[in-house]
Chains A and B, each alone.
Chain A
Amino acid sequence: MNFVIEMRRHLYILMLFAKNSIISQMEYRANFVTGIFVEAAFLVAKLLYVVVVYKTNIHIDGLTPDTILMFMGTHILLTGIYMGLFFNNFQRLTEYVRTGMLDLMIVKPISLQFLVSVRHIEVGMPIPNIIAGSIMVSIGWSASDIPFTLLNILLFIIFIFIATILTYCIMIIPPLLSFWFVNTSAASEISYSVWDANNMPKLIYNKWIQRIGTFIIPVFIVTNYAPLIVLHKLTKVEMVWGILAPLIFFMLIRMLWKQALKYIAVQTCNFGCLRKGEEESL
């Protein structure tokens, strides 16, 4: 019962964060519109892959260009979701640690992980990705003759939800490392590269990379499992792993989060030593 009440409270606060973020961002109209255009330009660059796939009529282990389009669309859709929900927050997390703003958040009677993960929701920049990703998935879906049933839609949505959780788990790791190392921009660059390399079906990689990308850093689940489930190409083992992976990785991230918090509270002066004006803040 308590869990349900807490979930409802957190959801309500999430809605408030979203509302506050929308109001804040619309305050700066020029930046809001420019953000959309910039992201649209990036999107056009990504769409060149689609052109290449169709021009070369590439087939990957039985996947036609139409089905590959679904994978690419899922990747772009998830990029939009990541940018909307998490990107801004993860960028700020490093700042919170560096400037000591985390102090004011730690004392709030709400999950700190929740607070720093979704406090600032981006509205403008994800729009092109979410629209384009959804259209690409729809076109690929239709062209691949996948039945448009309620079950298929539900399964696709469930795996997009799973992918969102895994995206969170993967992409929060570099900013979380900033609790120990303060500046983790190099790790962030790696995570962005891994993310971008995931815009095609995992079948283009060799078996070992597929295994690593599925079981160790489950980035392939993010883009592959939602299309594969509606194409009936997801094995039972993969399906079970697809359901278990977000639970396991979220628990691991939760543990890492607790360790990170413990580290800054116990091991280092964190808010003092590594910041400008360190002596004043001790």
Chain B
Amino acid sequence: MKSAIEVRHLVKNFEYYKKEIGMRQSLKNLFFREKLVKEAVNNVSFSIAEGEVVGFLGPNGAGKSTTLKMLSGILHPTSGSVNVFGYTPWERKKQFKQIFSIVMGQKSQLWPDLPAGESIFLNKCIYQVPDADYRRTLDELSELLDVKELLGVQVRRLSFGERMKMELIASLIHKPKLMFLDEPTIGLDIISQRAVRNFLKYYNEQYRATVILTSHYMRDIEDLCPRAILINSGTIVYDGELKKINTHQDEKKLIKLHFSEYTTLELLKEFGDVKEFDGFYAEIEVKKEEVRVSMQHFLYRFPVVDFTIEELTIEEGIAKLYRGSA
């Protein structure tokens, strides 16, 4: 498959000043500032094929947004190279800007006092979309997102979910073949989240658009991204199929137990890693080969009234990777 994005040994360091608490420190800061360097992205390499949807995951401050900003040309890297559809992003060529779009869940490009249609039309002019294409795309996207009737409503009168849908239309009016989505579902209710996810899935399938998605909602990632890149402290800790994230971990199962009487934590600890406990309920991570023996002990020694044995969730696997790399 043709490569859309090639990232090689990308590094981004930021300089900042130390700022401590208190008036004395502020006065000191006025004359002398201690310079610190933050390694936001450290030797990151990956490639993404055309039409691929990749989840870009990591805890706060991991380097996700910084990487996205370098891929979209907002930031220059300290070193390394990036090739996006043949362009070097930070050269910011007009032709490059025409082929992608960036959606940031926490920032809006719409004019709040105007109907969303006006902002979308403004984008049509900025991206030089021909009239016929504009009308066709606007009809298609607004119908898909079920907001056609709302194009004439002032943005500030729309709900948060409706506003995000309008953001998506404004961002996609020029039919980009690459989308950077930085937490597009943040703050949305479950129904709006699902609508946005379905729409993104449709857009990717219909137009073979390459998508890089960052989100803290695992549902977004699980629904949309067959592949995940995990970044922590500026370094990639996993790059591969999302569903295989757990195979990189110790082979474990999660046993959930309900007790009829109060049980002590100490007794459970000898069987594995107790993830949750409240006296009447416990979640314990147990090695796969020990599940059978452990279950016998639980049923024999504890007042178990109900139990389930489950695979570890992807979320748990990701959390383990974060912890392991930290």
Contact = CB atoms under 8 A, between A and B. Distances in A.
Interface of A: 9, 12-13, 16, 20, 23-24, 27-28, 100-101, 103-104, 106-110, 262, 265-269, 271-274, 278-282
A100 B66 contact: no
A273 B14 contact: yes
Interface residues of B, number: 38
Nearest to A112: B92
Contacts of A23: 113-114, 118
Given A20-B114, A100-B107, A280 B72 contact: no
B76 interface: yes
Chain B interface helix/strand/loop/mixed: mixed
B76 A24 contact: no
A267 B15 CA distance: 7
Q: Which of B98, B100, B107 has the most CB of A within 10 A?
A: B107
A20 B72 contact: no
Interface string B53-70: 000000011010110010
Chain A interface helix/strand/loop/mixed: helix
Top 8 A-B pairs ranked by shortest CB distance?
A269-B14, A109-B97, A273-B16, A279-B61, A24-B113, A266-B76, A265-B76, A109-B94
5 contacts: A16-B121, A103-B107, A109-B126, A110-B126, A265-B76
A268 B14 CA distance: 5
Nearest to A111: B94
Given A12-B125, A23-B114, A265-B90, 11 more contacts: A13-B126, A20-B118, A103-B102, A103-B107, A107-B72, A267-B15, A271-B74, A272-B40, A281-B65, A282-B38, A282-B61
B74 A103 contact: yes
A100 B118 CA distance: 23
Contacts of B73: 106-107
A281 B111 CA distance: 23
B277 to A, nearest CB: 31
B128 interface: yes
B49 interface: no
B122 interface: yes
Nearest to A100: B107
A103 B104 contact: yes
